[in-house]
Amino acid sequence: MQTVLNNLGRQDYLTVWRQMQRFTESRTAETADQIWLVEHPPVYTLGLNGKREHLICPNEIPVVECDRGGQVTYHGPGQLIVYLLTDLRRLKLGPRQLVSILENAMIHALEQYGIQAAAKAEAPGVYVGEKKIGSVGLRIKNGCSYHGLSLNNQMDLTPFQYINPCGYAGLAVTQLADQGVDIFTHELAVPVVHDIIKAIET
């Protein structure tokens, strides 16, 4: 079954989250999997196990407590967001395999731009050296996934300084722009999405 790709443009986080929940609750065994591309206005999101103590310097950026895995992260303009709404039972995939698919999609895309990145088993996500460039957070409900990945492209990274990213104090973050790569976020989406679709449709 072919995966449906939806480009949502810039959308409020809470709105898209509720849409993902409704889609997942209403889907059937015949519903095609979907990939949603989106960019969010500035927002901190706190995962199911998230602790507010990791919001070390509260500011005017809103905080949304959501139902994905993981701790706190930041979303903002210039960051690629890819939400993956799949039927894991139909794909015969487990949650850990899906995390690896998302991590590898980011790693392979970064390779195309000359950036060497890697995943860390003890701290999900993608790193350039010791700096985090991509995050993964998923929710699995009734055998289906939603939420997905975020990859820092060309954004203001300052808001990351006011949190412990993903619950790690002092964790530095980076982005493609800081690695000497100047591309539009919709361009970055192409290799990332291609890799994901290749992984889940084969």
Which residues carry a binding-site annotation for substrate?
68-75, 135-137, 148-150
- 57, 66, 144, 166: which is the annotated catalytic residue? 166
Cα pseudo-dihedral 108, 131, 133, 178, rounded to 10: -100
Q: Is the dihedral of CA 165, 166, 170, 173 positive or negative?
A: negative
Give catalytic status of residue 166 as yes or no: yes
Of 200, 20, 171, nearest to 104 by C-alpha is 200
Give the CA angle between residues 66, 170, 153 to the nearest 5°.
65
Give binding residues as ranges: 68-75, 135-137, 148-150
Location of structure tokens 């970064």: 110
Amino acid symbol at 4: V
Residues with a catalytic annotation lie at 166
